[in-house]
Structure formats: C-alpha cells, structure tokens
C-alpha cells in the first residue's frame, strides 16, 4: 500500500505537468482516445483476464510444491501472451485510421482523428511491453513478492514525466506518447531484480500441449468476456464524449485518474495481496478461514473508502484548482473535472468492494460468476451512458457528468450481485464481523463531511494551499478521532500496527 501511495504521488506530479502543458485541449483529448485501444489489448491479453486465471493456477502448483509444473505453466503463458499482443498490435496499427474514424473518436474533426491515429501507432508499442510486465507481476505476487510490482506504476509515471520534460517542449503531445512507451519499459525493468530470488525456469515452449496452460485458457475465457465488457464500458463513454463540448474526454480522464488514486491505494493494493492468500485457503479447503478473512478485509476497505469518498465530494473543487489550475488548465477546466469527479466519487465504496469480492471468486476458480455479473453491469452501463447523457443535457447540466454517474450506478449494481452470490457460495459472509465496524465508520464519515462543509464556508478567503490540504488534514483528524471514539476496530488497530513496526525496527 505504501508503494501504491508513492505511485499516486508520482502520478499526481505527472498529471500536474500534463495539465500545465495541455490543459483540457484537443491534443490531450486525442492522446486519451489513442490510449484506449492499447489499454484494451493489454487488459484482454495480459491484464485482469489473465491474472484472474493465471495467479490461482500458478499458486496451486507452488502450494503443492510442484515448482517445475509452475514454471512450465508460466513459460507457456508468457510466450503466448507475447505472440498474441505483438500480432494484435501490428494489426491495430495497420487498421488505425478505420478504428479511430469508426469507433474510438467518431466525433473528432478530421485533423484530430489524424493526430489520434499517429499517437495510437506509437502507444501500441507499450501494449507488448505491458503484457510481459503484467504477467511478471502475477508471478512475483504468487511468490508473496509485492514491493517491486507495486513500484512498477511509479516507474511508468516517471517515464511519462521524462517525456513531458525532455521531449514535449520540442515534440508536443508526441513527447508524452514516447514518454509512455519509455515508462512501459521501466514498468518491466524495475521488476527484473526480483527474478533471481524466485529462481525462474523459463523456456521458449508455447505450452499448447500442457494441460495447465489449457486450464488457464479455459478459466480465462469467461473472464475475457467480462474484461471486454469493462473495456467497452470505457470505450463507449469516450466515444460519446468526443461529441460533447471540447475538453470532455480530457475532463473525464482527469476525473477518473483522481478518483482511482484512493481506489488504487485502498482497494487494488489490498486485493493484490489478498488473492494469493485467498487462493491458498481455497486450495486447502479452508472455507471458514477464507470467509472470516474476506469479512475483515471488506470492513477494512470500507473503513478507508467511505471517508475518502466524503472528503473528495467536499474538497473536490479546491483540490483540483490547487493541483491543476495553471498554464493551459483554467477555471473552466477545473469545473469540468470536478463535475465528473463528483459522480465518480459516489461509487468509490462500490468499486473498492468489487475489487475484493472478485478476487474471492477467482480464488475459488470461479471466473464465470464475476464475468456474468460484470458483463451484465457493464452492458447496463452502456445503456445508462446514453440515458444519463440525454437526461443531463435536458436538465441543462454538463453531459459528461451523466457518463460518470452511469459508471457509478452500474458498478453499485455489480457489487450487490456479487455479494449476494458469494454469500451463497461461502455459506454466509460473516456480516457480524462487518456490520459493527461499518455503521460506526459511516457515522464518523458523515460527521467529518458536515464539518468539512463548515470548513469550506469559513475558509473561502484563504489561499487554495490552505483550503485544500488544510481541509484534508482537518477531515482526517476529525474522522480518525471520531472513529477511535466509536471503537471502530481498524481505528484501534492502525496505531497498534504502527507502534509494533516502530518497535520492531528499533529492536533490529
């Protein structure tokens, strides 16, 4: 989690530099649209789809002590991923003009479409690199190595920052694109020092005759459909935003990146660490232990997600203005981003819970259920994008906010469906371990939100650097004190954990 915090800070620095250089202008719209297809290729071939099938199977080999079988599996999957991503990227580069014109940016002008095509062909290089790097992440996580994989996103951002500082002044938006390719290379390179410690035995065999490779492909199939639905969920809003007021695509991306900062730190970091543990419990048949561990994890996730959501809702405008409102990023850009961020933020708890609950299904070797629920939710999201974009337009509101709200509503329904089914699979979800801490956390978050509104009212004349960070600090102290007073388990546990770590460091 600490590494993910570092990644978010470096990513924030990168976003500040992007905002100063490009604001919410048309060049940045083209860049973000061009990023969509490489992201889709990576997630389909080596991202969430592969990790959800590969990590439990690979962990199963390690749990049984069959390291040779584990590395035969890893070799076959890695070689297949490299070949598939290379072929798909070359084909996408060849068809780039058609893809941009008909699917990615249909609302762009011809000049903006041509720029998007050129950027897309550069960014496709990163898909192949990320494919190998994503698989290496899964291998290291299965060996309970989390630090270097968690640092990898930081190095990706550093590559983009280098591109912004060294290349963008001369090359414009193309400097940012080449910085993204450099960052992908660093994303892979930073994990390589961990390989000697796990003694890899990689070969160049495709593994098509390996039963475990076929099992991964079989398990990956349903999840592949789910990931495709999720990517469609991003593709459709981006295409719709290309028809909206200029800067809508960039505003949605800014808002999503700000929203995912707490979501990554809170949910993804814990989910990544939880999947091998859940998988090992499932492999040993320890369902009761898994149910208890899942309940405690969900309670901890919500302890962090609820106050984070309330804080972002209250402090969104001053924080965005403080971070980004310089250079090409003006006050209008701030309002565009804050509007979308508010509707994304409502779904922070839902997104966080989905991250954890999905891992529980993957640990049980069930990729079909989360795929079916996720695909249905994302399909609904596509419909809701059209509905809420039209509704917001009729109400005189900025339509891109409707796209963000559609995502939140669809994810909340997905969370409800997953929890209902998992409760039956595990013979309960140990709600008695969750509820006492949850209602106290919610009460503390509401109290914090009320005081933050008072804070904003009485600090309007102060500079932004006091309103935003001061509000964050004030809100954190209020929530922490209230939660501690209400005896929320996590509020009592965190100080104890910090104290034990400090004592251990001193004794060593």
Span 304-349, pLDDT tens digits = 999 999 999 999 999 999 988 887 788 898 999 999 999 999 999 9
The structural domains of the chain, with segments of one domain joined by +, span: 1-226, 244-497
The per-residue pLDDT for 508 is 64
424-462 pLDDT tens trace: 888 888 788 888 888 999 999 999 999 999 999 999 888
Digit-coded pLDDT (tens) for 4-26 = 778 878 888 898 899 888 887 78
Write down the pLDDT at residue 474.
94
Residue 183: predicted pLDDT = 94
Q: What is the mean pLDDT of residues 377-406?
A: 92
Average per-residue pLDDT in the chain?
Answer: 86
Cβ neighbors of 309 (< 8 A, separation 6 or more) are: 262, 345, 346, 348, 349, 445
Q: What is the arithmetic mean of pLDDT over 107-132?
A: 92
Distances, alpha carbon 476 to alpha carbons 348, 431, 459, 499, in Å? 17, 27, 17, 19
Asked if 32 and 250 count as a contact pair (C-beta separation under 8 A), the reply is yes
- Environment class of 504 (CB within 10 Å of its CB; exposed 0-12, middle 13-18, buried 19+): exposed
Query: Where would I find the beta strands (DSSP E) of 15-162?
Result: none
Q: What is the pLDDT of residues 47-91, one digit of tens each?
A: 555 666 777 788 788 878 888 888 888 888 888 888 888 998 999
Buried b (16+ CB within 10 A) or exposed e, 114-143: ebbbbbbbbbbbbbbbbbbbbbbbbbbbbb
Nearest CA among 223, 202, 191 for reference residue 58: 202
User: Could you tell me which residues come within 8 angstroms of residue 198 by beta carbon, excluding any fewer than 6 positions away?
Assistant: 139, 140, 143, 145
pLDDT of residue 51: 62
Contact 96, 34 (CB under 8 A): no
Binning pLDDT at 50, 70 and 90, where does residue 118 land?
very high
What share of the chain in percent tops pLDDT 70?
94
245-255 confidence digits (pLDDT tens)? 878 888 998 89
């Amino acid at each position: 989690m600490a590494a993910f915090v570092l990644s978010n800070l470096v990513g924030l620095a990168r976003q500040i530099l992007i905002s100063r250089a490009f604001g919410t202008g048309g060049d940045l719209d083209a860049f973000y649209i061009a990023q969509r297809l490489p992201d889709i290729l990576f997630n389909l071939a080596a991202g969430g789809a592969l990790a959800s099938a590969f990590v439990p199977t690979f962990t199963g080999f390690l749990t049984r002590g069959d390291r040779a079988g584990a590395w035969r599996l890893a070799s076959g999957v890695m070689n297949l991923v490299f070949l598939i991503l290379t072929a798909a990227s070359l084909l996408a580069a060849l068809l780039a003009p058609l893809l941009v014109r008909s699917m990615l940016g249909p609302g762009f002008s011809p000049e903006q479409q041509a720029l998007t095509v050129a950027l897309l062909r550069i960014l496709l290089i990163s898909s192949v690199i990320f494919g190998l790097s994503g698989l290496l992440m899964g291998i290291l996580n299965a060996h309970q190595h989390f630090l270097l994989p968690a640092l990898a996103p930081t190095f990706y951002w550093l590559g983009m920052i280098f591109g912004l500082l060294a290349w963008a002044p001369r090359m414009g938006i193309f400097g940012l694109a080449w910085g993204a390719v450099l960052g992908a290379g660093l994303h892979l390179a930073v994990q390589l020092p961990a390989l000697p410690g796990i003694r890899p035995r990689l070969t160049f065999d495709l593994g098509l005759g390996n039963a475990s490779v076929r099992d991964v492909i079989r398990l990956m199939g349903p999840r592949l459909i789910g990931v495709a639905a999720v990517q469609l969920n991003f593709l459709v809003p981006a295409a719709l935003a290309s028809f909206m007021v200029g800067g809508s695509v960039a505003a949605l991306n800014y808002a999503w990146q700000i929203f995912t900062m707490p979501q990554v730190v809170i949910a993804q970091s814990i989910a990544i660490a939880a999947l091998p543990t859940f998988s090992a419990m499932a492999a040993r048949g320890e369902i009761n232990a898994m149910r208890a561990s899942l309940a405690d994890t969900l309670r901890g996730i919500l302890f962090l997600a609820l106050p984070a959501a309330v804080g972002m809702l209250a402090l969104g405008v001053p924080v965005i203005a403080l971070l980004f409102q310089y250079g090409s990023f003006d006050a209008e850009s701030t309002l565009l981003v804050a509007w979308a961020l508010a509707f994304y933020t409502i779904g922070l708890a839902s997104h966080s819970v989905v991250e954890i609950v999905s891992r529980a299904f993957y640990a049980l070797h069930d990729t079909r259920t989360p795929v079916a629920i996720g695909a249905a939710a994302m399909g609904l999201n596509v419909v809701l994008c059209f509905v809420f974009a039209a509704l917001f337009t009729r109400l005189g509101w900025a339509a891109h906010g409707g796209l963000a709200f559609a995502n939140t509503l669809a994810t909340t329904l997905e969370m409800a469906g997953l929890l209902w089914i998992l409760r039956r699979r595990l013979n309960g979800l140990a709600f008695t371990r969750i509820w006492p801490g949850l209602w106290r956390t919610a009460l503390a978050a509401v109290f914090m939100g009320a005081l933050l509104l008072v804070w904003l009212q009485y600090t309007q004349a102060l500079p932004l650097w006091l309103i935003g960070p001061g509000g964050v600090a004030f809100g954190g102290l209020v929530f922490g004190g209230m939660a501690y007073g209400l005896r929320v388990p996590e509020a009592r546990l965190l100080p104890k954990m910090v104290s034990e770590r400090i004592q251990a460091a001193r004794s060593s």
